[in-house]
């Protein structure tokens, strides 16, 4: 399918899923991937996309003109997300016995060590993301322990299509890439999943609990929708 918005032609792939809403994903080549409810007609999908015209064009233009590289080289100076901001990789010579150590500062990701090969830098950066996500989630779970249900377990893992999830037993799971988002967005995801421990659905009662606990929830959701194509693309290749 090809979508025409303001005289621009945009390739568009539509995938029908068992869901209630339409999700728009901007791919790294500037095309669109649409997740739509089963049974929804193409005419209705086009209408929904037309309503999001300005948002779509803005993000497609950003991807095409200033988007992330097709393949990350993990070289010094390359930009990567850290708590919502693009930061350069900065290499510092250090001990070869300790491997690579990563710190995030105002100047960027300071990576210290002796061997800055792509595989090692990529692994060190991913390890940092996982650790920071785990620390932040632990902090927010503790913060809301008296206002939201306590989970039976908390896990940080690889989730290709979700930022977080909760099962019937009260176990909550989070995407390790959440440390790429601003801290206030990560906090929203924790509130969202902890609210599912009490309300295992997306009913009015669920959203009422989320809003009561975290008034900035809608702003956080918008940030995720606008940036998810960038964060989900990391490290921009399959190596």
* Residue 50 in this model has a pLDDT that exceeds 80: yes
The values of phi and psi at residue 95, to 5°, are: -70, 135
Q: How far apart are CA 154 and CA 98, in angstroms?
A: 29
* Residue 91 in this model has a pLDDT that exceeds 70: yes
Q: How far apart are CA 219 and CA 144, in angstroms?
A: 20
Helix (H) or strand (E) holding 151: none
The percent of residues above 70 in pLDDT, for the chain, comes to 94
The closest of 19, 89, 30 to 65, measured between CA atoms, is: 30
Q: What is the average per-residue pLDDT within 184-213? A: 95
The values of phi and psi at residue 34, to 5°, are: -110, 125
What is the greatest pairwise CA distance in the chain?
Answer: 61
**18 three-state secondary structure:** coil
* Residue 70 in this model has a pLDDT that exceeds 70: no
Q: What is the average per-residue pLDDT within 63-88? A: 80
- Quickly state the pLDDT bin for 184 (edges 50, 70, 90): very high
Tokens 């601003």 sit on residue? 182
pLDDT attached to residue 3: 78
* Spatial CB neighbours of 203, under 8 Å, sequence gap ≥ 6: none
Q: What is the average per-residue pLDDT within 170-185? A: 95
| Per-residue pLDDT tens digits for 105-158 | 999 999 999 999 999 999 999 999 999 999 999 999 999 999 999 999 999 998
Q: How far apart are CA 179 and CA 125, in angstroms?
A: 11
Tell which phi-psi region holds residue 147, choosing left (phi > 0), alpha (psi between -120 and 50) or beta: alpha
Tokens 């990529």 sit on residue? 122
- How many Cβ atoms from other residues are within 10 Å of residue 152's Cβ? 12
């Amino acid at each position: 399918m090809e979508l025409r918005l303001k005289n621009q032609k945009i390739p568009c792939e539509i995938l029908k899923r068992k869901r209630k809403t339409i999700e728009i994903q901007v791919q790294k080549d500037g095309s669109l991937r649409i997740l739509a409810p089963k049974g929804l007609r193409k005419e209705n999908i086009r209408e929904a996309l037309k309503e999001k015209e300005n948002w779509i064009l803005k993000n497609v233009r950003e991807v095409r003109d200033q988007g992330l590289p097709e393949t990350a080289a993990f070289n010094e100076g390359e930009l990567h997300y850290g708590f919502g901001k693009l930061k350069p990789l900065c290499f510092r010579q250090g001990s070869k016995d300790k491997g690579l150590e990563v710190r995030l500062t105002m100047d960027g990701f300071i990576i210290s060590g002796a061997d800055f090969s792509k595989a090692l830098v990529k692994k060190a950066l991913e390890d940092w993301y996982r650790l920071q996500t785990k620390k932040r989630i632990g902090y927010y779970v503790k913060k809301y322990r008296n206002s939201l249900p306590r989970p039976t377990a908390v896990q940080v893992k690889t989730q290709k299509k979700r930022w977080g999830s909760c099962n019937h037993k009260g176990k909550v799971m989070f995407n390790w890439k959440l440390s790429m988002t601003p801290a206030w967005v990560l906090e929203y995801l924790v509130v969202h999943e902890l609210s599912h421990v009490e309300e295992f659905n997306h009913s009015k009662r669920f959203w009422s609990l989320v809003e009561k606990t975290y008034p900035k929830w809608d702003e956080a959701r918008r940030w995720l929708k606008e940036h998810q194509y960038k964060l989900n693309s990391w490290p921009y290749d399959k190596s």
